[in-house]
Amino acid sequence: MKRRTAAAVLLALAALLPAGAAFAAARPSIGAKSAVLIEPSSGRTVYSRNPYSRRQIASTTKMMTALLLLERRSLSHRIRVLSYNGSSAESSAGLFPGERLTSADMLRALLLASANEAAASIAVDVGGSRSNFVRMMNRRAAAAGLRGTHYANPIGLDSGKNYSTARDLTKLAVLLRTKRFARQLMDRSKATLHSGSRTLTVYNKNTLIGAVPWMNGVKTGHTQQAGYLLVGSATRNGVELISAVTGEPSEAARNSDTLKLMRYGFARYRSVTAVQKDRQYATVAVSGRSEQAKLVAASSAAVVVRRGTGVDTLDLLESVPSEIKGPLRRGTKVGFITVRRAGRTADRVALVTASAVAAPTLLSKIAASAPPLTGALTILALLAVGATLLPRGRRSRRREAARKEPA
């Protein structure tokens, strides 16, 4: 009886919590040897298990191969396919030696089909030789702060010197996803390659793509020594998450653990609109005029925060002046508004004039162009002359009217 009562109380409390909060404390149970989940906009680690354990990483190595290609070659650059004698168990896109494919098509073969011949060909094209390309991979890893990573080949073949950590894999995924082409490509379940008149369809080895609507990347990996790996990315209701699981016993296990991590993250984070487009956030004086100019946000800004928390502050930057001078068109950029989260800048949005700003008045121009005392005296003199002329004008009109009256 007591157990039933306690369960009823827990259910009642869960119903009062915000959406997703009831699940926020439920840390997932996963079987990966090491795993990490991060929220990339803040850099926060949402979940970790042996995050710095160095392990062989199989074809997730190709994320670095892809990054170097994107940084060193244009998408239209053509790469010659080399002769590659891999084992029957190795991944291949069925490319023929001597074919020339664009970098874009090589990336399709590399990131979707995980083609080893594509990785080998890219390495020689970009690095001049395989060994030099590997040196480039390690230099790039050091520059990116991947302290637990070392590469021995551009493919991901088993080697004690080809390793990384779950934390480094998520960092590399964030870097790769800054490239628009890669980001869009990794969200596709298949793609078509072209070599002359020959076309070839390749399929994404990440079977979560297409099967789970909010999954959109990144790269799979598998060898006998490394086990099964998946570096995943997902976006839902404005929240983006990046995960990595390594040393899994099967493809089903790596998929299951990845989804557990993603659901855990989505239950803990939400996206809030911090700045609303066209909303007024400031007013500034207009030189030579009595009115003030309204400043509105040029665009909206959303920020990902932990559930139960919000955006800390909205601060006007120093670039917003105390006074502006017209004429200015509507939408003229005047300053910025910055969004702070946990004491750090999360976003920056331009502030623009809500309407056109008129030029200074004639009197203010005269005052501004003359020395201070002279300008003031000039304005007073003009006002005095006007006041003197007004009665005279009235007397003149009265005399003219008297002349026209009949005698």
How far apart (Å, rounded) are the C-alpha atoms in residues 146 and 152?
15
Cα–Cα nearest to 61, from 172, 171, 175: 172
Task: Supply the pLDDT for residue 8.
Answer: 34
* Cis amide bond preceding 154, omega within 30: no
Cα–Cα nearest to 325, from 367, 285, 294: 285
Per-residue pLDDT of the chain (407 residues; tens, 9 = 90+): 333 333 333 233 333 334 444 444 589 999 999 999 999 999 999 999 999 999 999 999 999 999 999 999 999 999 999 999 988 889 999 999 999 999 999 999 999 999 999 999 999 999 999 999 999 999 999 999 999 999 999 999 999 999 999 999 999 999 999 999 999 999 999 999 998 889 999 999 999 999 999 999 999 999 999 999 999 999 999 999 999 999 999 999 999 999 999 999 999 999 999 899 999 999 999 999 989 999 999 999 999 999 987 776 666 565 789 899 999 999 999 999 988 887 788 889 999 999 999 998 776 666 556 565 555 555 555 555 555 555 555 555 555 555 555 54
β partners of residue 314 = 339
DSSP 112: T
Task: Supply the pLDDT for residue 4.
Answer: 35
Cα–Cα nearest to 284, from 376, 353, 224, 350: 353
Task: Supply the pLDDT for residue 341.
Answer: 80
> In whole angstroms, how far apart are CA 242 and each of 30, 77, 110, 204?
16, 30, 20, 18
Q: Which amino acid is located at 289 in the chain?
A: R
